[in-house]
Amino acid sequence: MNFLGHRRVLVVTAVEPERQAVLRGLSGAGVAAESAVMVEAGGVGSAAAAAATARVLALGRFDAVLSAGIGGGIGVPIGGTTVATASIAADLGADSPDGFIGLDELGFGTATLATDPELVAAVTAAVPHVATGPVLTVSTVTGTLAGTRDLTARYPDAVAEAMEGFGVATAAAQAGVPFVELRTISNPVGPRDRDAWRIGDALEGLSEAFTCLAKLTP
């Protein structure tokens, strides 16, 4: 059985509720996850996500890797779905009196990893009303107006913020496996208002997205 045109796919979420949402979406379309897809809750943050992804990739053959979960939307409404054209480690760099200096500018490597164009095309074709653009990976979720202004000024094309994508992307890139990131939106990026978050709606959207993806299975 194939999934997204690949024999075997690894889906990495941060936490168990996201993993269960993905599994519900797959089972809702009649896909037995173990036959085509392995879904792993790798932990919160880029380091945990990278370590978990690398561990699983070392144990078996996979043809594609998806970082999946919920996140904050940048110009994308709550309940919306985003697919990354690149995963960017938005706060990997150095602070300075003149502002943030990114890893690329420092000359120590890159903080941007492009996603696989074929996977992006497949996901956007399968899931309705997807917003595409860079998805930012941060270690500290943005929660102030000043932080939001700084972030969006540096990354004006970004569509979402989360905490794991760049870590999953790094492990996939080092293993030579195609990668993409999918996020459903639980809250807008901006001043922190926990009461306005809609985590349940975002998890439901995650399930629906994977039901759509599963329907691509031959």
Each residue's pLDDT tens digit, 92-101? 989 888 888 8
pLDDT of residue 214: 85
Asked if residue 27 has pLDDT above 90, the reply is no
Q: At 215, is the pLDDT very low, low, confident or very high (cuts 50, 70, 90)?
A: confident
> Rounded mean pLDDT of 148-158?
94
| Of 112, 104, 94, nearest in space to 170 by CA | 112
pLDDT of residue 218: 53
Each residue's pLDDT tens digit, 33-68? 556 889 999 999 999 999 999 999 999 899 999 999
> Rounded mean pLDDT of 113-135?
95
| Of 53, 67, 49, 47, nearest in space to 116 by CA | 67
Q: CA 86, CA 111: separation in Å to the nearest integer?
A: 10
Each residue's pLDDT tens digit, 76-109? 999 999 999 999 999 998 988 888 888 888 899 9
pLDDT of residue 35: 65
Query: What's the whole-number average pLDDT of the chain?
Result: 92
Q: At 217, is the pLDDT very low, low, confident or very high (cuts 50, 70, 90)?
A: low
Instruction: Name the pairing type of β-strands 81-89 and 179-188.
Output: antiparallel
Each residue's pLDDT tens digit, 161-213? 999 999 999 999 999 999 999 999 999 998 888 888 899 999 999 999 999 98
User: Crossing angle for the helix pair 46-59 and 165-175, nearest 10 degrees?
Assistant: 30
Q: CA 40, CA 37: separation in Å to the nearest integer?
A: 10
pLDDT of residue 25: 92
| Of 162, 139, 177, 145, nearest in space to 54 by CA | 177
Q: At 5, is the pLDDT very low, low, confident or very high (cuts 50, 70, 90)?
A: low
Q: At 1, is the pLDDT very low, low, confident or very high (cuts 50, 70, 90)?
A: very low
User: Are 99 and 146 spatial neighbours (Cβ–Cβ below 8 Å)?
Assistant: no
Tell me, what DSSP letter sits at residue 15? S
pTM: 0.93
CATH of 9-214, one of 3.40.50.1970, 3.90.1150.10, 3.40.50.1580, 3.40.50.920: 3.40.50.1580
